Structure 1
Amino acid sequence: MRTQAAVSHGPDSGFTIEDVEISDPRPDEILVRLTATGVCHTDLATKAVLPAGIPAVFGHEGAGVVEATGAEVTGVQPGDRVVLSYRSCGICAQCAGGHRSYCERFEALNASGRRPDGSAILTGQGGDAWSSFFGQSSFARHAIAVRENVVVVPEGTDLVTAAPMGCGFQTGAGSVVNVLCPDPDSSLVVFGTGGVGMAAIMAGAALGVGTIIAVDLAKQRLDLAAQVGATHTLDGAAEDIVGQIKDLTSGGATHAFDTTGVPAVVRNAALALGTRGSLALVALGAGDVGFDVRDLIGFGKTVRGVIEGDANPHELIPLLLDWHAQGRFPADRIITAFPFEEIGQAVAAMKGDVVKPVLTF
């Protein structure tokens, strides 16, 4: 079957809209016609490391309508509205223990560029395309997925708003809901107010956290953070940022969340914690941040890395949709829609005022 995809041909190239051949769904696969797909920094970071000359199709926050299912697929049928998320095997020790984002086959299922058996799902002008990204490659009008990463959503769901719940919003909100677990008496500091950080702020507000502090360099984003749940906003460039946070939290935050991966910011996030405070990290940018171990041990602090919000998409995405319907997770406030053909403009806009671009078909 022919479809169109936004193809990357190397780290320094843009995206070009090209005709490609997508394989028919196998017995365990699902063919989805995309309605919307979010653009995530992970798409761009992966694009930046693939060698030039390899045609690649990214995209991992897809949402759309099921067009066909294989004979072995249950619980999904043509016509269903769905959100696509990361893929997991469902049977390894981590999956069986409820931690699908740490699946023992995560890399093979989400970042190998092919099906697990090595076959390609997309074929372009230059031959097989690197695809199956997060089990979907949704920078295309159609995607092949499997039951594990397809979440059926209600008929009336706004798929433009729902699409980023497959990764970015899931990562931010899940890190708060599943890992940090603050209560109304807690204080939560979020460093970086992109899509992931905003989702963490909205989740904190939905849980009724009393003090939610947003830290960023961009005033416009801080203003938006205040509109979606932050009780305080701070300029991340301030020299006394740790002191300001401690003043607002009676000596130190109970919880902190970093989305930047910047070593100095991560260190400040740890220093801003109070006794027995917890910090969750989701950005891969920093390899060595130089924590003060005496500070961590002396005050019983916890630092924890998180993938995909430690979330089972089949549980968290329905929760976020329920919160959105109740007005408690105003995700639409941080989304800017772009036609699929304007993917280049969407990517450029991420460096400016656009918090979360979503491509629409």
Structure 2
Amino acid sequence: METIAAVIKEKGGDFVFENVTLDSPRENEVLVKIVATGICHTDIAARDNILGQTKYPIILGHEGSGIVESVGTGVTKVKKGDHVVLTFGYCGGCGNCENGLPAYCENAVQLNMGGSRPDGSHPHHNHGMTLHGNFFSQSSFATYSIATEKNVVKVPHDAPLELLGPLGCGIQTGAGAIINSLKVTPGKSVVISGAGAVGLAGVLAAKICGATTISVIDINAERLQLAKELGATHIVNSKEVDVTKTLLEIVPSGFHFAFDTTGRNEIVNAILASLRSLGICGIVGISKHPLELDMNSFMLKGLKLKGIIEGDSVPDDFIPSLVQLYQQGKFPFDKLIKTYAFKDINQAISDTQKGDVIKPVLLIN
């Protein structure tokens, strides 16, 4: 079938719209009409080949939501007409997947950033030229997408499909870090560095978990104010104050948990220094620079630093629970979203990089 896709043809280039041919779904695949898709910093990192994995030309996009158009002969989880959120790819058969840790799938690199199906074939075709895709097993910057039965998650028809795409990656990462990875419990204290979509999703989750002290660090006054509106009890502008000193004035005995979304050495070390003995710090994100720790502070208090992928989520369970919380008014992640027409993808990317928007979502169909 024919589809319209936003294609990156060279490192750091603009997205260019192309008419491309998309395969029919194979036995374990699902064809989805994309309604909307979020833009994540991972899309920008892939565009710029930060991890050295990107092959050009390529179709990116990995926070898609849409309606099932057709399914392969072996698919039983969803059917034509179902509303779905597309999430990360995982094999389901490796040791980590079988132990309930699909975000750490042993085949994750190929399934999410390999640029093709696992067998090396490409579902997208453009006048006989190789067109890389299968990004996060979806490549949702297009009017239609081929996903797999594993990475489509059925959601209720009465949920706003045009908003749900970011639950597939960024929002589930932030919320999952607090709920699944750090396992924040009522009465505990947590400090979150970075008031972007992932960090602010963490704020919403910390409030749900019953944390009594939720401190947020950023340099953007508007985002800090939004963090307070979403449930933060304290906000800290790291350009204006000594971060560690300020945090220890808020919780003199030290925080129970920290969650970093910045990857900045000075911020990571500042929040580690604000933790109590045996405190835990979760960290997410892609950074160009190595992380350097103050080992004396880190070791003497027996701190734990935990890398987190996709919020340690089991998507088929976690994403529907977030949708339900949203419908109950307890998880208003829509306050983070600004929508754009698909044709304005380059403007949305620019606004994201300038910090003018927290979570852009492209309205595709």
Same fold, TM-score > 0.5, yes or no: yes
Q: Where does residue 160 of structure 1 map in the other structure? A: 162
Q: Retained in 1: the 8 A contact 2:67–2:81?
A: yes
Go from structure 1 to structure 2 and tell me whether the alpha carbon gap of 1:56 and 1:279 turns closer, same or farther (over 3 Å shift): same
Go from structure 1 to structure 2 and tell me whether the alpha carbon gap of 1:12 and 1:290 turns closer, same or farther (over 3 Å shift): closer
Q: CA deviation at 1:289?
A: 2.4
Matched-pair identity in %: 40
Structure 2 Cα separation of the partners of residues 125 and 266 of structure 1: 48
Structure 2 Cα separation of the partners of residues 225 and 52 of structure 1: 34
1:130 to 107, 129, 132: 132
Q: CA deviation at 1:160?
A: 2.4
Identify the range of structure 1 (57-66 vs 343-352) with the bigger mean alpha-carbon deviation: 343-352
1:185-218 CA distances to partner (integer Å, 9 max, x unpaired)? 1111110011111111111111111111111010
Q: CA deviation at 1:51?
A: 9.0
Structure 1 portions without partners, runs of 5+: none
1:62-114 CA distances to partner (integer Å, 9 max, x unpaired)? 00000000110002000000000001111111001111000000001111000
Partner SS for 1:283: coil
Q: Where does residue 203 of structure 1 map in the other structure? A: 205
Q: Retained in 2: the 8 A contact 1:192–1:215?
A: yes
Q: Retained in 2: the 8 A contact 1:55–1:126?
A: no
Structure 2 portions without partners, runs of 5+: none
Give the TM-score taking structure 2 as reference length.
0.96
Q: CA deviation at 1:10?
A: 1.1
Structure 2 Cα separation of the partners of residues 52 and 37 of structure 1: 20
Q: Where does residue 10 of structure 2 map in the other structure? A: 10
Q: Where does residue 322 of structure 1 map in the other structure? A: 324
Go from structure 1 to structure 2 and tell me whether the alpha carbon gap of 1:332 and 1:53 turns closer, same or farther (over 3 Å shift): closer
Q: Where does residue 29 of structure 1 map in the other structure? A: 29
Structure 1 Cα separation of the partners of residues 283 and 317 of structure 2: 22
Identify the range of structure 1 (136-145 vs 182-191) with the bigger mean alpha-carbon deviation: 182-191
Q: Where does residue 359 of structure 2 map in the other structure? A: 356
Show the 5 A alignment for 1:127-276: 127-276=129-278
Identify the range of structure 1 (282-291 vs 248-257) with the bigger mean alpha-carbon deviation: 282-291
Partner SS for 1:148: coil
Q: Retained in 1: the 8 A contact 2:247–2:274?
A: yes
Structure 2 Cα separation of the partners of residues 200 and 27 of structure 1: 37
* Residue type of the alignment partner of 2:39: V
Q: CA deviation at 1:183?
A: 1.4
Q: Which runs of 4+ in 1 moved over 6 A?
A: 50-53
Partner SS for 1:285: coil
Structure 2 Cα separation of the partners of residues 12 and 145 of structure 1: 26
Partner SS for 2:115: coil
Structure 2 Cα separation of the partners of residues 68 and 206 of structure 1: 37
Q: Retained in 2: the 8 A contact 1:11–1:51?
A: no
Partner SS for 1:36: strand
Q: Where does residue 43 of structure 2 map in the other structure? A: 43
Q: Where does residue 291 of structure 1 map in the other structure? A: 293
Q: CA deviation at 1:287?
A: 4.5
Q: Retained in 2: the 8 A contact 1:280–1:303?
A: yes
* Residue type of the alignment partner of 2:108: F
Q: CA deviation at 1:286?
A: 5.5
* Residue type of the alignment partner of 1:353: D
Q: Retained in 2: the 8 A contact 1:264–1:289?
A: no
Q: Where does residue 67 of structure 1 map in the other structure? A: 69
Structure 2 Cα separation of the partners of residues 284 and 136 of structure 1: 20
Q: CA deviation at 1:176?
A: 0.6
Q: CA deviation at 1:124?
A: 2.2
Q: CA deviation at 1:125?
A: 4.6
Structure 1 Cα separation of the partners of residues 269 and 143 of structure 2: 42
Structure 2 Cα separation of the partners of residues 73 and 310 of structure 1: 25
Q: CA deviation at 1:223?
A: 1.0
Go from structure 1 to structure 2 and tell me whether the alpha carbon gap of 1:287 and 1:52 turns closer, same or farther (over 3 Å shift): closer
Partner SS for 2:7: strand
Structure 2 Cα separation of the partners of residues 12 and 72 of structure 1: 38
Go from structure 1 to structure 2 and tell me whether the alpha carbon gap of 1:143 and 1:278 turns closer, same or farther (over 3 Å shift): same
Q: CA deviation at 1:353?
A: 2.3
1:166-186 CA distances to partner (integer Å, 9 max, x unpaired)? 000011111111111111211
Identify the range of structure 1 (296-305 vs 43-52) with the bigger mean alpha-carbon deviation: 43-52
